[in-house]
Structure 1
């Protein structure tokens, strides 16, 4: 990944009357030191983030990502971000991305320990080459997430619906999947409910009906999944959010892991059981996801 740009933000209050936030942005060298040793994002993973796909300088679905950043901030008791400020920061970063695919990251942390304000920054980097996953697909294994489907309601302090910087478990799950001879994982609850991938949402097709695990089980509501469902619905196809048993993964006519940067990767096997791949629909979904979208 080649870092192209980094922008530090002086966080604005959500009710700030400003309409031009350029004076609150500072461009910094992405290769230079920029954070204090007391920064809680690095000490404790105490913060939130978003990853936004960029195609030929166009940042995709910015509103959905910024709104989800605000949702994560509420869950984590962080100051509410000013949506207009973050929109402008994204557009500033997108202007530096140039042709091809890139990824913009939004980061909001609790700041320096005992400090007066949160820390906020935006980065832009060249996206990894995901063409193989999009065309050849991914093999997945199911991994127990360690809690039952009722845990998010009983224990909201687990922050299961927030996109936090505490991603060590997610990365460990991907490493475990690879140790088992797969490319990726799908988390399942201890009572057998399918959840999500460590960095993706799950979409299943049974006939002409498309489903995804309901977000009420502590699942991060995926921006790419929302966009795919809107695209499918526009074609007259049925979509639904459901509590899906793990067996639904293995009986699907087709399945995908979808995310903002990898886009739609067809699942070719679940726990060693081969799945059919709908190559025509997969190609159609990725053409749509690579087209400019607001």
Structure 2
């Protein structure tokens, strides 16, 4: 079951729509051009995780896209309505979506709530095989060409989905993008995280935001609690060899959480289940704060 709640000014808590019937015009620019933004978060026992972080990133994406979106309070009410309208579930995927709407009219905004698929849990438990794929940009392009929207979470995910299909056709589960100048970037729907343990010092490192990647809400939540637990934190730059030299590598995201990487381009790498368990616990803790 999927619940849709549109942020309609005439409905203080959002307008519930029948998900089995059409809700968007065929001329909506989100449909015709992929012109819009979104966020995905996990709600556990009816409570959204990292809500403020997701609303902040949605607002940041909207600013980058020159989109006028409803205020945070309106989103919070619509999210509460969507969760309340869905049959009780331990976990729900809650998506916030905004399109530019029909040309000349206001943007279209809605919340979608549905049960998560099974693949995320399976990949958390069994690990994933990834391919390194060239994104086609160098690591400084985000600063030179802000119109590429590399730091915004847009609806234009065709390239990301094509990368995932390519990986699956070649026997892998996921992708880590690299830049043309050899830097590690991010996954199509995730943030890259590596752990190293050297002389008793435990360090978590993620790629530089300045390299044109999306700020990870899960990585941010994890870093806060990991620092308090004694981990050192680092922000790249990373190159592919750093992935092979690490004691563990993960792709981290709001729905899948920490998915341990077990091979890169067919080459096996260490999977530290004890670290995965510890960091997952810290991530869950950080997501509640």
Instruction: Report how far residue 104 of structure 1 moved.
Output: 0.5
The equivalent residue for 2:65 is 76
Instruction: Report how far residue 33 of structure 1 moved.
Output: 0.8
CA–CA separation in structure 1 for the residues paired with 2:83 and 2:186:
28
Q: 1:95 to 1:293 in 2, by over 3 A?
A: farther
2:128/2:259 contact within 8 Å kept: yes
Instruction: Report how far residue 290 of structure 1 moved.
Output: 4.7
Aligned mate of 1:241, from 213, 235, 251: 235
Matched length: 282
Matched, 1:121 2:110: yes
CA–CA separation in structure 1 for the residues paired with 2:166 and 2:110:
31
Instruction: Report how far residue 249 of structure 1 moved.
Output: 1.3
Matched, 1:228 2:222: yes
2:41/2:54 contact within 8 Å kept: yes
CA–CA separation in structure 1 for the residues paired with 2:49 and 2:164:
25
Matched, 1:176 2:170: no
CA RMSD of aligned residues (A): 1.6
Q: Deviations over 1:63-101 (max 9, x none)?
A: 000000000001111115411111222222233442222
CA–CA separation in structure 2 for the residues paired with 1:275 and 1:24:
48
2:93/2:255 contact within 8 Å kept: yes
The equivalent residue for 2:269 is 275
**Unaligned runs of at least 5 residues, structure 2:** none
Q: Normalising by structure 2, report the TM-score.
A: 0.93
Counterparts in 2 of 1:1-294, with a 5 A limit?
A: 2-3=1-2, 5-10=3-8, 23=12, 25-97=14-86, 98-115=88-105, 117-129=106-118, 130-207=120-197, 208-290=202-284, 293-294=288-289
2:6/2:78 contact within 8 Å kept: no
Q: Normalising by structure 1, report the TM-score.
A: 0.92
SS in 1 for 2:235: strand
SS in 2 for 1:213: coil
CA–CA separation in structure 1 for the residues paired with 2:191 and 2:15:
34
Which is worse superposed, 125-134 or 76-85? Answer: 76-85
**Unaligned runs of at least 5 residues, structure 1:** 12-20
The equivalent residue for 1:17 is none
SS in 2 for 1:31: coil
CA–CA separation in structure 2 for the residues paired with 1:172 and 1:80:
29
